């Protein structure tokens, strides 16, 4: 269970440390596909994973704008991936070299108070650290701390472009949107934002058989994708009348669940305007500024508003559903690139509307 270079060292030869290629952040607006040292086991719970499939997240674009101060120059980006375990630390019992594994975007120790409450997002020594405070998955290799509780075993023949959606986007949409929103059979659900995360909410909301799913976006192409994935009503919100249209569609009743999948004040406002008494506003979007909460109206409306960083506690459920053929997250993958062309992949993903891009798959075969 030793890597090549340490075997070499053991022989006492003077060799350069092993190298790999990775996508490195160099400050706002700057990134490069360049050589970096291959990661090594640092703690007994670590695993080194050779990435076979990765992808780009909207959060990566935020980082590149300089919006995420915890990411410092020199950091390898990426928090989504599927790969093959290359090496494990002494305390890892659930994985060994050669295993195929899904990398969770959330690292969890499984021991701290938050982990014992299944709030892995707030793990005392984990949470969202990959591609943030430690090097990430848009690379040939990645080090995964707390591997036993941060990786998920996959069968050798797993469809990687489906599985990589389970690193982040599917559990995020499910946990923050659908589970927090408490979608139940017969409900009317509105999803504000039909980007990848909104579409993932659309897919996972259907686990609970709502009667209606109203999809709201500025982009007709994305709305058409939503229709093909199960939306029952589409609203193009470019005229600023989305809330009014939802109230009309529901005969003035409003919706049981409003899922915010954008992250700006205007979309939150649509949600609070359309939620019915007794209903839920489930925030999924990453917000950069405060919103106005209209308590002078809502104080008596028996509504519940939730926020959440994904815990990936629902990943085992998602794995079962993909394996049973009941969930097809690969439908969110619109483009494929070799990992070595990740710079081009960023260009495509960064012009999502023009390119009609949803998720962009990076393959390292």
Binding site for a second copy (CB under 8 A): 44-45, 90-91, 93-94, 109-111, 113-119, 121-122, 148-149, 184-186, 206-209, 211-212, 232, 263, 268, 277-278, 283, 285-296, 298-309, 311, 313, 316-318, 320-321, 323-324, 326
Q: Choose between 241 and 308: whose C-beta lies nearer to a second copy.
A: 308
Task: For residue 55, list its beta bridge partners.
Answer: 361
To 5 degrees, how large is the angle CA 99–CA 137–CA 263? 125
Nearer to a second copy, 138 or 149 (CB): 149
Distance between CA atoms of 215 and 102, rounded to whole angstroms?
30
Nearer to a second copy, 75 or 233 (CB): 233
Is 126:120 a contact under the CB 8 Å cutoff?
Answer: yes
Q: Minimum Å distance from CB 286 to a second copy?
A: 6
Task: Please report how close the Cβ of residue 204 comes to a second copy at its closest, in angstroms.
Answer: 8
Min separation Cβ 141 and a second copy, Å: 23
The H or E element containing residue 23 is strand 19-25
Q: Least Å distance between CB 194 and a second copy?
A: 19
Distance in angstroms (rounded) separating the CA atoms of residues 262 and 288: 11
Q: Which is nearer to a second copy, 140 or 175 (CB)?
A: 175
**Where does 118-261 show beta strands of DSSP type E?**
141-144, 151-154, 188-192, 212-217, 233-236, 255-260
Judge whether 117 and 62 are in contact, CB under 8 Å. no
Quote the least distance from Cβ 173 to a second copy, whole Å. 13
121 vs 364 by CB, closer to a second copy: 121
Residue 141: which residues within 8 A CB-CB, separation 6 or more? 20, 38, 39, 48, 49, 50, 51, 86
List b or e across 104-124, with b for residues whose CB sees 16 or more CB atoms inside 10 angstroms: bbbbbbeebebbeeebbbbbe
Q: Name which of 29 and 290 has its Cβ closer to a second copy.
A: 290
CB of 177 to a second copy, least distance (A): 13
- What CA–CA distance (Å, rounded) separates 174 from 168? 10
Beta-carbon neighbour count of residue 275 at 10 Å? 26
Q: Which is nearer to a second copy, 109 or 200 (CB)?
A: 109
Q: How far is the CB of 281 from a second copy (least distance, A)?
A: 9
Cα–Cα distance for residue pair 148/129, rounded to 1 Å: 16
Residue recorded with tokens 């815990």: 311
Q: Which of 128/337 has CB closer to a second copy? A: 128
Nearest distance, CB of residue 292 and a second copy, angstroms: 5
């Amino acid at each position: 269970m030793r890597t090549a270079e340490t075997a070499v060292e053991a022989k006492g030869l003077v060799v350069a440390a092993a190298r790999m290629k990775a996508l490195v952040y160099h400050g706002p607006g700057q990134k490069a596909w360049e050589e970096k040292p291959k990661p090594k086991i640092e703690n007994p719970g670590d695993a080194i994973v050779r990435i076979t499939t990765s992808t780009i997240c909207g959060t990566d674009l935020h980082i590149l704008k300089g919006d995420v101060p915890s990411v410092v120059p020199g950091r390898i980006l990426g928090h989504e991936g599927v790969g093959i375990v290359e090496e494990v630390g002494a305390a890892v019992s659930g994985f060994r070299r050669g295993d195929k594994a899904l990398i969770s975007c959330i690292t969890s120790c499984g021991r701290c108070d938050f982990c014992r409450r299944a709030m892995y997002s707030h793990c005392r020594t984990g949470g969202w650290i990959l591609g943030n405070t430690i090097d990430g998955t848009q690379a040939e290799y990645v080090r995964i701390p707390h591997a036993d509780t941060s990786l998920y075993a996959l069968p050798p023949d797993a469809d990687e472009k489906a599985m990589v959606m389970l690193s982040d986007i599917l559990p995020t949409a499910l946990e923050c949107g659908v589970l927090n929103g408490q979608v139940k059979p017969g409900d009317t659900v509105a999803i504000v934002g039909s980007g990848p995360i909104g579409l993932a909410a659309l897919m996972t909301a259907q686990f609970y058989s709502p009667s209606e799913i109203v999809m709201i976006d500025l982009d007709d192409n994305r709305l058409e994708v939503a229709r093909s994935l199960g939306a029952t009503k589409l609203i193009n919100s470019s005229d600023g009348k989305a809330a009014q249209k939802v109230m009309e569609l529901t005969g003035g009743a409003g919706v049981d669940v409003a899922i915010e999948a954008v992250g700006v004040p205007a979309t939150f406002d649509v949600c609070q305007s359309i939620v019915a008494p007794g209903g839920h506003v489930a925030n999924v979007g990453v917000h950069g500024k405060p919103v106005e909460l209209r308590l002078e109206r809502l104080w008596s409306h028996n509504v519940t508003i939730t926020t959440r960083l994904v815990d990936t506690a629902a990943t085992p459920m998602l794995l079962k559903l993909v394996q049973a053929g009941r969930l097809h997250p690969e439908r969110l993958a619109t483009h494929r690139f070799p990992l070595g062309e990740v710079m081009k992949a960023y260009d495509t993903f960064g012009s999502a509307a023009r390119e009609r891009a949803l998720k962009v798959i990076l393959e390292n075969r």
